[in-house]
Amino acid sequence: MAREAVIVGVGDVPLEDGKVVGGGSVLQVQARAAKAALDNAGISMGDVDGLLVAGLWGVPGPGQLPTVTLGEYLGIHPRFADSTNIGGSAFEAHVAHAAMAIEYGYCDVALIVYGSTQRSERSRTLGGRPSTLTMQYENVWGIPQPVGGYALAAKRHMHEHGTTQEQLAEIAVATRKWAALNPHATKRDLIDIDDVMASMPISDPLKLLDCCLVTDGAGA
């Protein structure tokens, strides 16, 4: 194609014990991450004409209209906006969508932002969702959300492929090895499969060390 999208800047916010250093609202931490990425790229906020932000339901953020809310907060009037939300993988989709938007000429500078203060606000529980649609088959049995959904998927994988809990534990062990290389990671002590297997059960077959941490954070 005549245009090729490239990543020219990245930024995040510092954390301490899983909380944003200096505190702030979701919009404030997103703004800090956005500025850090643009500073890294040598680009001004006024040059941004594409904005991609994940919204509500499972991915905490600035409400149900995240691109509108954050765009107004940052003073951005994007020609291209995307708030696709497919859970934790939304941001990978945003990278693909931003690349397509740039290559097709819908925008020239795309800013992808995510931020959360869920640890500071202790707001990660999703157990209060209304028992409608598919949730009517889960909530009534007290399934913990969101980990319960992953537990059901893990159970199905074990049923179909013979996967063991020890094999699932290898994911946590490998992830912690990568965290040990990052001086900003919240947990850096190495763990082994026995540690994972001995940790507290959360939602069968997942145990405490199988589960991701609840943290604040923002990146762009």
> At 214, is the secondary structure helix, strand, or coil?
coil
Q: How does pLDDT run across 100-134, given as a tens digit for each residue? A: 999 999 999 999 999 888 888 776 555 566 777 87
Higher pLDDT, 101 or 89: 101
Q: pLDDT higher for 172 or 91?
A: 172
What pLDDT is attached to residue 58? 47
Residue 34, SS3? Answer: helix
CA 25 to chain centre: 17
Instruction: Note the pTM of the prediction, 2 decimals.
Output: 0.82
Coil, strand or helix at 87? coil
The Cα 82–Cα 98 span in angstroms is 9
Q: Residues 183-211: pLDDT tens digits?
A: 888 899 999 999 999 999 999 999 999 99
Q: Are 123 and 110 in contact (CB under 8 A)?
A: no
- Percent of the chain scored above 90 by pLDDT? 61
pLDDT band at 216 (very low <50, low <70, confident <90, very high): confident
Average pLDDT over residues 45-68: 78
Tell me which residue of 141, 138, 158 sits closest to 205, measured CA to CA. 158
The number of residues making up the chain comes to 220
